[in-house]
């Protein structure tokens, strides 16, 4: 017990005396959350809109007013020909143009249906898709209110459950939690263990009465505690600053996070057992853990839209499962009954990795 | 004695409030073997970095190979050679590739590189292993090659930073043979070492203690001054007062 | 005398490199034993096998009567080890380092203060200083204190004086002397020949083999030829002249003198002097000297290389 306390004390000295470590541990979660929360968004606001209205009647005016008051669009210019549209796109003064054909209102009354042409800039497909969607929803809205008399038909009325306003911060918070825990737990532990190998102090620790398991636990516990502090910080910030709710049990969220931390720590230890330099450990952690966590976990790109091989690989990424769990608990208020499978996957991963690293962690140098 | 190859006047380097080298004043003549001694942390490495143009001095004056350290760093670099303790050759390249690479970075023409390589391989008796990777060669051969490569571009002065650390006694002495030979040909040698017997081989010596010059003289004069038999005793006498900090 | 360390036919190979070959020796309890050799001689590999960090490929080794392979856990509790580059935590203070290494062995600095007092007292004025900011000599003393703080029965010091100035080296050996007086068994490796005389017994190591094993004075009896020290003002010319002499067996510079052996068995100093004076050396002196440890090491190296060349 005495040895263990001494070991912990020493680890905390290492952590708090290295400004870079402290910055990564505490500054990074904060900065990332603020970055993703404020700066990096999927929503698009103030789309510059050009109108080519060839009929100038009550209906087109009403539609234009609706578009303008939706909050998404800013009317920048009135256009007078197809050529002008092209010109406006080329100089980048508009992101979308809407074309109303001649005799719009009359045609609508006569034929019951009429088309509006929506022109967007295809060189940025994501933006185009999103603003076309906005436009469509405004037009739909108009149709619903103005043409109550319209023909009977099947109509889709979308309702975005759990995130009705499609706030991207809702999407990012669970991903960020996974990313930060990966970084702190896996990267920092693997670096801290390989640092001792590099400086030769690991030799001295091995040639002592400490058992390998004791060395591992001594190295891991501080990061375990700090990672947990990070989880609490991120959840609290997300809730107070961005209003991200935690609809499910906070206790369950914390327990699941602890499980994920243990998985990440085991990965970190495993990396340190197969490398002997800090640089290699860092490369493996960054390229082998962080990139997949960002790209393959569903954090940014949905897993469902990946090609089959990547979807299969994504199952090996612990963050994928953690993400499902966190989104479930925080946004959907899911109870344990619905996420036990994902929890089990994480638990198995953690056990296997931990067992492998303890087995691989050599009692000797070779 | 010929023109001084290195001349410094109160050369000083500070890092924050720590004075690594404090008012170093030296004059080293052409063809001299100059021994630069001191404990680790006495400022030797910092001084060498300044004299090789890698580190800007905080104050003081210095010329190396006729170039001012502040304004002629490029000229300094063209006229010096440098060999560190770890030889700074590439273990995964062959002997010939190493020579070609270093000749290349010193700006030799292809014709000159070929000529130099042939000469060097001949004189070092390395023709048979010219296409062997360096990693598998004995330490002594690597050391010779490293020294030859460091003076490939015919510099006026060569800096050797602990060239014989951890080397066996025979290899160590063979290396000093090379130093002597080069000095006979007129090359100035600036060498650091922890072996006190090697200090005796130098024409003049500078002993650094805590960034300051503690003694600067010929070895025999130094021993006479302190009234002792060996450089080891000189060294211990000089370092003793500072031991308690 | 009981053996503290026993090494029997130990061999170790790393890929194509034979790091150790057929090493046999034993170190008695309370002995100060030195391994002398250059980098790559196999000293570190041998130490790592003895402190149970590496497994030998061949042979077996025992420390305190315990097998290094099977009983490594028991050995680790009873030995102290100071690896090559003073493994300390640079971001911890002097005192924190010491306390940490004490706690690793489940003991406290206070319990064993008696043993390290002599060494640690010199560091106490700087005990709040970070280990990374210490001079080489002080780091070395701290590393020794850390290796001693759990009162080990055998101490393994791998090149404790490399990269340390001459004064600190001298002081370090004085400390080792005092530890030996207290009955501790100490194994130390060094590339410095001048440190060999301070050991009870020494082993010469070269390219993974043991060249010789004896007391420092005993080992010099392996040098069988008469040895001359020759001095002249023009040392370099003297060296060149002697090198090409058909009678020279070996010529090596030793400080201001050259150490010379002749291949004529009965040559006398005055004959050599006369020959050199005839070569134009005016202020030359020749004297017969007792071979030192370094002379012996060089002679044994050449003997082995000569044997290998044939």
Interval C179-213: pLDDT, tens: 999 999 999 999 888 899 999 999 999 989 999 99
Tell me if C3-214 shares its fold with C227-290.
Answer: no
Q: Which residues of C touch B218 (CB under 8 A)?
A: none
Residue B231 has pLDDT above 90, yes or no: no
- C-alpha radius of gyration, chain B, whole number: 18
Strand partners, C206: C209
Q: Are residues A265 and A122 in the same domain?
A: no
A33 and A71 in one domain?
A: no
CATH number at B205 reads: 3.40.50.300
Candidate from C38, C164, C168 with C-beta closest to B168? C38
Q: pLDDT tens, A183-196?
A: 888 888 999 999 99
- Assess if residue B228 is contained within a domain: no
As for how many domains chain B has, the answer is 2
What ipTM describes this predicted complex?
0.82
Distance CA B96, CA B115 (A): 12
Out of B38, B167, B200, whose CB is closest to C38?
A: B167
Sheet holding A47-53, edge to edge: A73-78, A47-53, A96-100, A116-120
Could you tell me if B92 and B23 lie in one domain?
no
CB C158 within 8 A of CB C83: yes
Q: Do A277 and A306 have their domain in common?
A: yes
Q: Which of B107, B128, B154 is the last residue of a domain?
A: B154
Residue A36 forms part of a structural domain:
yes
A336 and A276 together in one domain: yes
Secondary structure class of C230 (helix, strand, coil): strand
- Looking at residue A120, what is its pLDDT? 84
pLDDT in tens, B157-208: 999 988 888 788 888 898 998 998 899 899 999 999 888 888 888 999 999 8
Single out the residue in B125, B154, B183 at which a domain terminates: B154
- Full DSSP string of C255-281: TTEEEEEESSTT--HHHHHHHHHHTT-
* Same-domain status, A208 and A283: yes
Q: Which of C168, C191, C254 lies nearest to residue B166, judging by beta carbons? A: C191
Q: Report pLDDT digits (tens) over A63-115.
A: 888 888 877 788 888 888 888 888 888 888 888 888 888 888 888 778 777 78
Looking at the fold, whether B67 and B163 belong to one and the same domain comes out as: yes
Least confident interval from A116-120, A229-233, C109-113, C152-156: A116-120
Would you tell me which residues 134-163 of chain C have a C-beta closer than 8 angstroms to some C-beta of chain B?
135-137, 162-163
Q: What is the per-residue pLDDT across B111-125, written as a single tens digit (0 to 9) for each?
A: 888 888 898 899 888
Q: Residue B245's pLDDT is what?
A: 38
Mean pLDDT of the region A291-308: 83
Phi (first) and psi of residue C257, to 5 degrees: -110, 165
For B41, which residue in chain C has the nearest alpha carbon? C135
Tokens of B98: 């190493």
**How many domains does chain A divide into?**
2
Cβ of A18 under 8 Å from any chain C Cβ? Answer: yes
Chosen from C15, C162, C167 to mutate, greatest number of chain B CBs within 10 A: C167
| Together in a domain, A197 and A298 | yes
Whether residue A338 sits in one domain with residue A268: yes
Pick the closest to residue C141 from C169, C180, C99 (CA basis).
Answer: C169
Quote the domain boundaries for residue B129.
85-154
The shortest CB-CB distance from A209 to any of C85, C92, C105 is to C105
Q: What sign for the dihedral angle of Cα B45, C140, A275, A9? A: negative
Pair (B99, B150) in one structural domain: yes
DSSP for A309-326 reads HHHHHHTT-HHHHHHHHH
Q: Is residue A10 part of a domain?
A: no
Residues of chain C neighbouring B185 (CB-CB closer than 8 A): none
Q: What share of chain B in percent tops pLDDT 90? A: 31
Quick one: angle between helices B139-150 and B169-184, nearest 10? Answer: 20
pLDDT computed for residue C198 by the predictor: 93
Does residue B229 fall inside a structural domain?
A: no
Chain C residues with beta carbon closer than 8 angstroms to that of B220 = 256
Q: Which chain B residues have any C-beta within 8 angstroms of a chain C C-beta?
A: 38-42, 139, 165-171, 173, 176-177, 180, 184, 194, 196-197, 200-201, 219-220, 230-232, 235-236, 239-240, 243, 245
Query: What confidence score (pLDDT) does residue C194 get?
Result: 86
Which residue of chain A comes nearest to C92, CA vs CA?
A13
What's the whole-number mean pLDDT along residues C256-277?
90
CB A102, CB A80: distance < 8 Å: no
Q: What is the pLDDT of residue B164?
A: 85
Looking at residue A117, which CATH number applies to its domain?
Answer: 3.40.1710.10
Q: Let me know if residue A258 belongs to a domain.
A: yes
Same domain, A25 and A128: no
- Answer yes or no: do C41 and B168 touch at CB < 8 A: yes
Chain C positions touching B32 (Cβ under 8 A) are: none
Indicate whether B14 and B66 sit together in one domain: yes
Mutation to test the C interface, candidates A5, A203, A207, most C Cβ within 10 Å: A207
Residue B38 has pLDDT above 60, yes or no: yes
Q: What pLDDT sits at residue A155?
A: 55
Nearest neighbour of A210 by CB, restricted to C89, C91, C104: C104
Mutate which: A4, A18, A208, A210, vs C, most C CBs within 10 A? A208
* CATH code, domain carrying B89: 1.10.8
In a domain, A9, yes or no: no
Chain C residues touching residue A9 (CB < 8 angstroms): 100
Q: Which residue of C has its CA nearest to B167?
A: C38
Task: Using DSSP bridges, classify how beta strands B204-209 and B188-192 pair: parallel, antiparallel or unpaired.
Answer: unpaired
Do B56 and B44 share a structural domain? yes
Quote the pLDDT of residue A225: 92
Answer yes or no: is B193 within a domain: yes
Contact between chains at B40 and C40 (C-beta distance less than 8 A): no
Interface touch C206/B184, C-beta < 8 Å: no
Q: Which residues pair with C26 in a beta bridge?
A: C6
Does A156 fall in a domain?
no
Same domain, B161 and B53: yes
| Per-residue pLDDT band at C118 (split at 50, 70, 90) | confident
| Residue B192 belongs to a domain | yes
Which A residues in the span 200-219 are in contact with C, Cβ-Cβ below 8 Å?
A: 200-201, 203-210
Phi, psi (deg, nearest 5) at residue C222: -70, -15
Q: Residue for token digits 């061999």?
A: C11
One domain for residues B18 and B74 = yes
Quick one: A32 and A53 in the same domain?
no
Using a CB-CB cut-off of 8 Å, the residues of chain C touching B180 are 236, 239
Question: CA of B207: which chain C residue's CA is closest?
Answer: C165
What mean pLDDT is reported for chain A?
Answer: 83
pLDDT above 90 coverage of chain C, percent: 63
Same domain, B71 and B1: yes
The answer to whether residue A159 sits within a structural domain is no
- Is residue B37 situated within a structural domain? yes
Instruction: Tell me how many degrees the CA angle A22-A32-A18 measures, rounded to the nearest 5.
Output: 10
Q: Closest by alpha carbon to C156, among C180, C198, C123, C189?
A: C189
d(CA A210, CA A220): 15
Touching chains, A (3+ CB pairs < 8 A) = C
The reply to whether residue C302 touches residue B170, judged by beta carbons under 8 angstroms, is: yes
Question: Chain C residues with CB inside 8 Å of A2's CB?
Answer: 103, 106, 108
Q: Given an 8 Å threshold on Cβ–Cβ distance, is C254 in contact with B166?
A: no
Chains that touch B (3 or more CB pairs under 8 A): C
Confidence grade of residue B244 (pLDDT, cut at 50, 70, 90): very low
Same domain, B136 and B47: no
Sign of the torsion formed by the C-alpha atoms of A227, A228, A230 and A231? positive
Q: Which domain holds residue A78?
A: 47-146
CA distance B192 to B190: 7
Task: Give percent of chain C above pLDDT 70.
Answer: 98
Q: Which positions in chain A touch C147 (Cβ < 8 Å)?
A: 204
**Cβ B196–C166 below 8 Å, yes or no?**
yes
What number does CATH give the domain C227-290?
3.30.70
For residues A166-181, average pLDDT: 78
Where is pLDDT greater, at C308 or A127? A127
CATH number at C3-214: 3.40.50.300
What's the pLDDT at B7? 94
Is there a single domain that holds both residue A130 and residue A177?
no
**Beta carbons of A7 and C100 less than 8 Å apart:** yes
Mean pLDDT of chain B: 87
Tell me: pLDDT of B107 over 80. no
Considering only CB atoms, which chain A residues are within 8 Å of C79? Answer: 207
Minimum-distance CB partner of C96 among A2, A13, A204: A13
Q: Which of A113, A146, A179 is where one domain is finished?
A: A146
Distance from CA of A279 to the nearest CA of C (A): 19
* Cβ contact A–B (≥3 pairs, < 8 Å): no
Sheet holding B33-38, edge to edge: B80-83, B157-161, B188-192, B33-38, B204-209, B212-217
C-chain residues near B38 (CB < 8 A): 165
pLDDT mean over A286-311: 84
pLDDT of residue A1: 63
Judgement on whether residues A321 and A305 belong to the same structural domain of the protein? yes
The answer to whether residues A308 and A176 belong to one domain is yes
């Amino acid at each position: 017990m005495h040895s263990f306390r001494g070991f912990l004390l020493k680890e905390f000295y290492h952590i708090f005396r290295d400004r870079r470590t402290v910055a990564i541990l505490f500054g990074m979660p904060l900065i990332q959350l603020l970055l993703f929360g404020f700066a990096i968004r999927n929503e698009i606001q103030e789309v510059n809109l050009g109108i080519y209205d060839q009929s100038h009647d009550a209906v087109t005016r009403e539609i234009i007013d609706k578009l303008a008051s939706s909050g998404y669009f800013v009317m920048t210019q009135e256009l007078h020909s197809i050529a002008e549209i092209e010109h406006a796109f080329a100089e980048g003064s508009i992101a979308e143009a809407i074309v109303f054909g001649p005799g719009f209102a009359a045609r609508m009354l006569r034929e019951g249906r009429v088309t509006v042409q929506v022109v967007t800039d295809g060189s940025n497909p994501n933006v185009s898709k999103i603003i076309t969607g906005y436009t469509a929803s405004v037009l739909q809205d108009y149709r619903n209110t103005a043409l109550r008399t319209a023909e009977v038909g099947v109509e889709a009325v979308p309702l975005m459950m759990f995130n009705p306003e499609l706030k991207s911060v809702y999407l990012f918070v669970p991903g960020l939690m996974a990313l930060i825990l990966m970084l702190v737990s896996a990267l920092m532990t693997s670096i801290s263990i390989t640092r001792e190998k590099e400086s030769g102090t690991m030799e001295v620790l091995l040639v002592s009465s400490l058992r390998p398991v004791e060395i591992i636990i001594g190295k891991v516990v501080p990061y375990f505690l700090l990672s947990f502090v990070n989880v609490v910080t991120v959840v609290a910030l997300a809730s107070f600053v961005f209003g991200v709710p935690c609809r499910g049990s906070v206790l369950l969220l914390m327990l699941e996070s602890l499980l994920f931390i243990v998985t990440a720590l085991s990965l970190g230890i495993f990396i340190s057992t197969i490398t002997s330099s800090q640089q290699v450990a860092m490369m493996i952690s960054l390229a082998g853990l962080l990139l997949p966590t960002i790209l393959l976990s569903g954090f940014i790109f949905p897993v469902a839209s990946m090609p089959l091989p990547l979807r299969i690989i994504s199952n090996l990424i612990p963050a994928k499962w953690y993400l499902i769990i966190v989104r479930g608990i925080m946004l959907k208020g899911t109870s344990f009954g619905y996420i036990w499978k994902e929890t089990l996957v994480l638990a198995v991963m953690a056990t296997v990795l931990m067992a492998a690293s303890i087995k691989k962690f050599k009692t000797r140098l070779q | 004695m010929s023109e001084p190859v290195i001349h410094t006047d109160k050369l000083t380097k500070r890092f924050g409030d720590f004075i690594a080298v404090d008012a170093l004043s030296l004059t080293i003549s052409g063809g001299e073997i100059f021994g630069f001694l001191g404990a680790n942390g006495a400022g030797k490495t910092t001084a060498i970095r300044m004299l090789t143009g890698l580190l800007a001095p905080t104050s003081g004056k210095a010329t190396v190979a006729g170039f001012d350290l502040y304004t002629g760093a490029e000229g300094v670099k063209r006229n010096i050679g440098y060999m560190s303790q770890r030889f700074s050759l590439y273990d995964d390249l062959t002997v010939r590739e190493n020579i070609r690479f270093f000749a290349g970075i010193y700006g030799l023409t292809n014709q000159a590189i070929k000529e130099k390589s042939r000469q060097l391989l001949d004189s070092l008796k390395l023709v048979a292993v010219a296409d062997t990777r360096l990693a598998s060669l004995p330490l002594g051969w690597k050391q010779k090659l490293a020294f030859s490569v460091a003076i490939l571009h015919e510099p006026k002065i060569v800096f050797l930073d602990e060239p014989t650390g951890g080397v066996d006694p025979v290899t160590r002495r063979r290396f000093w043979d090379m130093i002597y030979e080069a000095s006979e040909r007129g090359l100035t040698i600036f060498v650091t070492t922890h072996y006190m017997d090697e200090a005796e081989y130098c024409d003049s010596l500078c002993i650094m203690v805590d960034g300051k010059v503690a003694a600067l003289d010929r070895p025999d004069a130094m021993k006479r001054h302190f009234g002792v038999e060996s450089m080891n005793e000189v060294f211990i006498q000089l370092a003793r007062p500072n031991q308690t900090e | 005398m009981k053996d503290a360390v026993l090494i029997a036919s130990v061999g170790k190979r790393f890929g194509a490199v034979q790091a150790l070959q057929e090493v046999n020796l034993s170190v008695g309890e309370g002995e100060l034993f030195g391994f002398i050799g250059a980098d790559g001689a196999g000293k570190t590999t041998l130490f790592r096998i003895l402190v149970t960090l590496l497994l030998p490929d061949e042979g077996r080794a025992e420390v305190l009567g315990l097998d290094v392979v099977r009983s490594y856990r028991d050995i680790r509790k009873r030995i102290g080890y100071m690896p090559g580059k003073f493994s300390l935590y640079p971001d911890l203070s002097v005192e924190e380092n010491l306390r940490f290494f004490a706690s690793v062995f489940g003991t406290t600095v206070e319990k064993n203060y008696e043993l390290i007092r002599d060494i640690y007292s010199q560091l106490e004025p700087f005990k709040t200083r970070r280990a990374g900011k210490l001079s080489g000599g002080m780091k070395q003393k701290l590393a020794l204190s850390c290796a001693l703080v759990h009162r080990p029965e055998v101490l393994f010091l791998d090149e404790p004086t490399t990269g340390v100035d001459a004064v600190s080296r001298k002081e370090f050996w004085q400390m080792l002397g005092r530890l030996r007086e207290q009955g501790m068994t100490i194994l130390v490796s060094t590339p410095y020949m001048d440190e060999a005389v301070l050991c009870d017994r020494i082993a010469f190591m070269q390219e993974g083999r043991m060249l010789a094993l004896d007391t420092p004075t005993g080992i010099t009896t392996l040098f069988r030829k008469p040895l001359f020290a020759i001095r002249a003002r023009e040392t370099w010319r003297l060296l060149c002249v002697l090198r090409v002499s058909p009678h020279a067996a070996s010529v090596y510079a030793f400080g201001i003198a050259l150490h010379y052996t002749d291949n004529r068995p009965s040559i006398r100093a005055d004959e050599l002097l006369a020959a050199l004076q005839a070569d134009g050396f005016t202020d030359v002196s020749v004297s017969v000297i007792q071979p030192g440890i370094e002379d012996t090491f060089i002679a044994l190296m050449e003997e082995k290389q000569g044997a290998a060349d044939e």
